[in-house]
Amino acid sequence: MGRFDTMVTVQLIQPPRSQGYGDNSRSACYVPLGLVSIATYVQSQLPNARVEILDGEFFDVNDIIDRLKPGSFVGLDTKAPNYESALLIARAAKDISCRVILGGVYASAIPERILSYRSAIVDHLVVGYGEIPVVEIINGRTDPLIRNGSPAFNDIPLPKRDLFLDLEPYIENFQRQHKTWGNLRATNTFTHVGCKYRCLFCERTKPTKGVYFVNPPRFWEEVTSLVQTHGIDYVVDFSDTLTQNTDFLRDLVEAKPAIINPQFHVFSTADGINSATIELLQRLNVKHVFVGVESGDETLARTIHKGRDFSPKMTFDAIAQLAAVDIKVTPSFVLGLPGESKETLQRTYDHARKIYDIFNFEEIFCAGLIPFPGSPAFRRLEQRVEARGQLFYRDIYDPEQLRELWISEFCNVDSKEIMEFTDKLLGLGKYRITIRKETTAGVGSDDGV
């Protein structure tokens, strides 16, 4: 039993995106699984605690503030596009004597900066995985900065979505926003965390080196429950890249129960696609792979750090291999790589057009490069600005301003041209995913969803 086993209230919050960010085809389709995992662990350790999750995909900032309970433990999952909303909620929570805990990729990227500016409204900042630290904080731990680099996948309970959330609104949104994919009942899972690459633009924090895999029988126990309890027939694995370890993928496939066969949507790098992994993906019943294409220019592709041989040809060949066995793709493009020019933008569009004309994808991701805190691009930009004596040390970074500054420092085109090509690429897809304020072409699908 925990020290605060009775009368404690825990509110775990995914803040809404800050003002100006629009929806896209994935908005409100997937549960905040990290918060569900924390909530499940808290409930397992403190059975009498009152635990709830507030998802900013369904509530605005004022709605969430109105739902805050005096004296509760408030955990906020931060990302660059929602950090300002998180601060508004944190300030309101402190005003009613709550204990405020910040976590997530944004907080994990610049923890010391945040605490140096926000110590008046943030009691604790967790770098990494929050399940165990949140319980320790409830039980009296006082450290302002707590680092936990292990996800402890196999030492914590399976996430119990239906204890804290209603899955049906998420499923209905997925169906409404992917009308041509069939009446699928979808939800999200993780098979692992971590990636062997350190891509230029990736801000996912790696608190410790390495990749952590879920024990396959445990994973299938979770999926079996989702299928049998909620009728889930489409599982989106939000892990970094499922094909980065063929041995794990094989173990996962070999452990698959015969009684279930949901479709899977997974992420993969191009170099992870080969005859061996494709055979395993087919046995897993993968129907859709998100592939990082990034650029159609061979020179720019080498600046990403996706592997020595990464190239437009590699991405095209990987997609061709998937298409040959009727596995659909979502190609992903990032515009604004170092040295980007009108010519390289056109090559990327031509590359995307070639992929579309041959393989006819429906979903696409495209965005201008944002050097998010925590990414190699952010560190490179920070070094460039500091070398000129400009003040860059802060905790609030407007992603659009970061993008503008990056483009001015590292590209041979302006942001207007990059946004124009972003819209052109997004226009190739029926379902569009982007990160951008005041977005036009990137919202939802072609029917305005």
Residue 247, domain extent: 166-433
CB atoms inside a 10 Å sphere around CB 99 = 18
pLDDT band at 206 (very low <50, low <70, confident <90, very high): low
State the pLDDT at residue 192. Answer: 95
- Asked if the model's pLDDT at residue 444 lies above 60, the reply is no
Nearest alpha carbon to residue 87 among 50, 115, 126? 115
pLDDT band at 442 (very low <50, low <70, confident <90, very high): very low
CATH, residue 35:
3.40.50.280
Tell me which of 145-154, 259-268, 366-375 is least confident. Answer: 145-154
Same domain, 113 and 218: no
Q: What is the DSSP letter of 445?
A: B
Instruction: Reduce the DSSP state of residue 268 to 3 states and report it.
Output: strand
Same domain, 170 and 241: yes
Q: What is the DSSP letter of 124?
A: E
CA 425 to chain centre: 21
State the pLDDT at residue 447. Answer: 39
CATH, residue 386:
3.80.30.20
Name the domain boundary from 112, 128, 153.
Answer: 153
Same domain, 273 and 184: yes
How many domains, the chain? 2
Same domain, 170 and 141: no
Inside any domain, residue 174: yes
Tokens of 449: 């969803």
CA distances 218 to 157, 189, 224, 331, 389, Å, are 10, 12, 10, 30, 52
Inside any domain, residue 393: yes
State the pLDDT at residue 448. Answer: 31
State the pLDDT at residue 7. Answer: 83
- Asked if the model's pLDDT at residue 416 lies above 50, the reply is yes
pLDDT band at 305 (very low <50, low <70, confident <90, very high): confident
Name the domain boundary from 153, 188, 205.
Answer: 153
Q: In this predicted model, what pLDDT tens digit does every residue of 400-410 receive, in sequence order?
A: 999 999 999 99
State the pLDDT at residue 21. Answer: 83
Inside any domain, residue 449: no
Same domain, 377 and 296: yes
CB-based contacts of 157, cutoff 8 Å, min separation 6 = 40, 41, 44
Q: What is the DSSP letter of 46?
A: -
State the pLDDT at residue 5. Answer: 53
Same domain, 149 and 172: no
Does an H or E element contain 287, and which?
strand 286-294
Inside any domain, residue 417: yes
Q: In this predicted model, what pLDDT tens digit does every residue of 247-274 receive, in sequence order?
A: 999 999 999 999 999 999 999 999 999 9
Inside any domain, residue 336: yes
The whole-number average pLDDT for the span 327-350 is: 98
Contact 159, 36 (CB under 8 A): yes
Tokens of 287: 């129907």
More confident residue, 390 or 5: 390
pLDDT band at 6 (very low <50, low <70, confident <90, very high): low
CB atoms inside a 10 Å sphere around CB 217 = 12
Same domain, 242 and 329: yes
Does an H or E element contain 422, and which?
helix 415-426
pLDDT band at 393 (very low <50, low <70, confident <90, very high): confident
Inside any domain, residue 101: yes
Q: In this predicted model, what pLDDT tens digit does every residue of 82-114 receive, in sequence order?
A: 999 999 999 999 999 999 999 999 999 999 999
- Asked if the model's pLDDT at residue 277 lies above 70, the reply is yes
Backbone angles phi and psi of 432, in degrees to 5: -125, 135
The whole-number average pLDDT for the span 19-25 is: 83
Same domain, 58 and 173: no
Backbone angles phi and psi of 143, in degrees to 5: -60, 130
Inside any domain, residue 360: yes
Backbone angles phi and psi of 36, in degrees to 5: -60, -40
Inside any domain, residue 134: yes
Same domain, 243 and 120: no
CB atoms inside a 10 Å sphere around CB 13 = 27
The whole-number average pLDDT for the span 233-239 is: 97
- Asked if the model's pLDDT at residue 344 lies above 60, the reply is yes
Rounded to 5°, angle at Cα 322 from 232 and 305: 100
Same domain, 131 and 197: no
Integer-rounded Cα radius of gyration of the chain: 22
State the pLDDT at residue 438. Answer: 65
State the pLDDT at residue 1. Answer: 42
State the pLDDT at residue 386. Answer: 85
Same domain, 148 and 266: no
Same domain, 176 and 56: no
